[in-house]
Structure 1
């Protein structure tokens, strides 16, 4: 059974972060440059939350606020469910589906590890299925 740690083995642990004082417009520019849908909000070495495209669409645009004046800390998602490196991908899918979220922070105890996205979970699941199919094909060919 694949785990969150398998995702990090494949993609690494690099996360793009901003401070809560970062202007929303600056965070959006960073996200566009990196072609990502979220940034981690950190203060020093402490995880505070996550700022996503969904936060922008629902908390800035729809409320007529200005992204050049608003700070990320004012609209970030703070209380997302958390998983650990040993959490199964199935558990992650269930949590993300039940909470209607696309990103989930990963913690080892109280220490922040990183963020995974639904795309990370889908990719890892597809790779596991591909490996399993190849192993079964090899087994069938070896048995014949």
Structure 2
């Protein structure tokens, strides 16, 4: 079972996009669209303050007919963020995401943000792990 650190090292891009709590929701949505991502971490003074996602926008701005121009990220972000550490396993992360209905997990090491895992990252790793296991079993059967 791979660790979070190993998954982060295997990602094609380690860059984590972020916004501040005072940024407009429109700026956050534009950044997500521009980068083709579904969530941004929210940093305040370099520390994790929350996470904002397309889901937050859809539920807290669009459906409530609020203005994306006037609303601030702090008004719609999830402030009580569930995080993982570099030593946590793929299985642990998948369980958290399943139980809490999450799509993104910020990764903290000693309180510092070092990465962001998406459900896609974990599914990709799970598929690779299963393919490797199948190959090993086939080799074992062949002798």
TM-score if structure 2 supplies the norm length? 0.91
Instruction: List runs of 5+ in structure 1 lacking aligned partners.
Output: none
User: CA offsets per residue over residues 35-82 of structure 1, 9 Å max, x none?
Assistant: 100111112321111110010011111222100111112211111222
Indicate the SS of the match to 2:63.
Answer: helix
Partner of 1:121: 122
Summarize deviations over 1:111-133 as a string: whole Å, max 9, x none: 22221111111111111111222
The CA distance in 1 between the partners of 2:27 and 2:113, in whole Å, is 24
**What is the RMSD computed on CA atoms of the aligned residues?**
1.4
Give the drift of 1:136: 2.6
Equivalent in the alignment of 2:7: 7
Task: Give the secondary structure class of the aligned counterpart of 1:85.
Answer: coil
1:98 maps to which residue?
Answer: 99
TM (norm. structure 1) is 0.91
Number of aligned residues:
142
The alpha carbon displacement at 1:137 in A equals: 2.7
Structure 1 ranges of 4+ moved more than 6 A: none
The separation in 2 between residues aligned to 1:67 and 1:18, in whole angstroms, is 15
Instruction: Indicate the larger mover: 23-32 or 132-141.
Output: 132-141
Q: Which runs of 5+ in 2 are unaligned?
A: none
